[in-house]
Amino acid sequence: MFERESMLDRFFKLKRNNTNAVTELAAAATTFLTMSYIIFVQPAILSADFNGNPTGMDFNAVMLATCLSAALATFIMGVYANYPIAQAPGMGENIFFVSVIMSISAMGVKNAWQISLGIVFISGILFLIISVLNVREKLLNIISPSMKNAIAVGIGLFIAFLGMQKAKLIVAAPGTLIQMSGDILSKDMGIFLFGLLIIAVLLMRRVKGAILIGIICSAVMASVFGKIEFSGIVSKPPSIAPTFMKMDVAGVFRSLPVQEYLSFIVIFLFMDVFDTIGTIIGVGEQAGFIVDNKLPRANRALISDAVGTAAGACLGTSTITSYIESASGVEAGGRTGLTSVFISIFFICAVFFSPLIKVVASYDAVTAPALVIVGAMMTKNVVNIKWADYSESIPAFLIMMGIPLTCSISNGLAFGFISYPLMKLFSGKTGETSWLVYLLGAIFLCRYLFLKI
């Protein structure tokens, strides 16, 4: 046992990061439970279009592809980059994937989903190339400290908003867009508030694993109130044959006009590159990984989702990206890649324990408190923004507000990356930033002007 622990410590540098295997396991469980909804949401989205018509993708095969691709990418993140950041098919990217299927189908092309997987595979290879060439790491390093902290705050607000939305504390409203729920005395709300209180009290008492304990307590309370019923624990894994290696790369160039497949590939590139960069910065700031405005081993972290995306297309799912829910595991104490390795194991286990996981993950009131608490923790970075320097603070503020209000990390980053070079230019501080920042701002601007995304 001693040798095994010693090997883990040497490989993942546990002691150097003030953590241990038990803490990393609890952090992994916390992250996994807050993001495990993707196991069932992903196949539901990919198997039917926006009108409810079948896309042709098999639900069970996509579910297995989701688990396997997430496990692979997260494992690479853990052993290669040594970061506690989970990877899985991205929300937003999967919606766009379905819209691509619909667009291709509208052209009269029959194997639309196979060609769409081909587009994802090509984008994954391109991700890998620009990652190996350090292009993505250079983009990450040119972002100013104020912008990095603003990204962390923006993601924190976004996570908290998602948590309140999942709990139905905040609901849609025709006049004001959103409003507080009128059903504040419901059992669902009671379970959510109970979980929120448990986690908050345990955090104040500095109890390790507070978030995971809160999730478990909420699940027990939900079971007592009859909101969740455990109908099974183990199930036989489905077949992946309906989607495995079904991507049609040649069909991308044979069946689609040049302007169509180029725009699809570029959009996938934009979404994954900047969603991943934003998430890594946000989680990195929260965990204290960023040193001298740089994230050590950043390129290794960026390569993991590139490999995951290409592998995911082979297995039968859409773009893989880093998950903002990783912040919940970091808040629970996760500091090394061992957390990611445990998460990857959980994804493999999910293939066999899907009935149990589905019950917990499908009831939002159980996992929503964790998201709200983590969001609150991430907003602490707001004090590190240079508020007195408007060329820094205005772009930072636009990022902070843009991410939650557009429900998109990449759109929120665009607000900041377009305004930042303009603020520097008109304030006469052009020498304070790299020419790459101006190029990046121009690229983002062209994205909206010409690609209409």
What is the tens place of the pLDDT at every residue in 143-169? 888 988 888 888 889 888 888 988 889
pTM: 0.78
Q: What is the pLDDT of residue 336?
A: 96
Q: What is the pLDDT of residue 4?
A: 52
Q: What is the pLDDT of residue 156?
A: 83
Q: How far apart are the first and last CA of the chain?
A: 53
Least confident window among 117-126, 307-316, 369-378? 369-378
DSSP character for 441?
H
**Identity of the highest mean pLDDT range in 218-232, 265-279, 410-424:** 410-424
User: Cα 407 from chain centroid?
Assistant: 12
Using DSSP, state whether 322 is helix, strand or coil: strand
Q: How far apart are CA 53 and CA 139, in angstroms?
A: 40
Q: What is the pLDDT of residue 452?
A: 55
Beta bridge partner(s), residue 322: 87
Q: What is the pLDDT of residue 1?
A: 41
Q: What is the pLDDT of residue 3?
A: 47
Tell me the mean pLDDT in the region 192-212. Answer: 87
Ramachandran area for residue 54 (φ above 0: left; ψ -120 to 50: alpha; else beta): beta
Q: What is the pLDDT of residue 2?
A: 45
CB-neighbour burial class of residue 145 (10 A; exposed 0-12, middle 13-18, buried 19+): middle
What is the pLDDT confidence band of residue 383, given thresholds at 50, 70 and 90?
A: confident
**Identity of the highest mean pLDDT range in 17-26, 49-58, 253-262:** 17-26
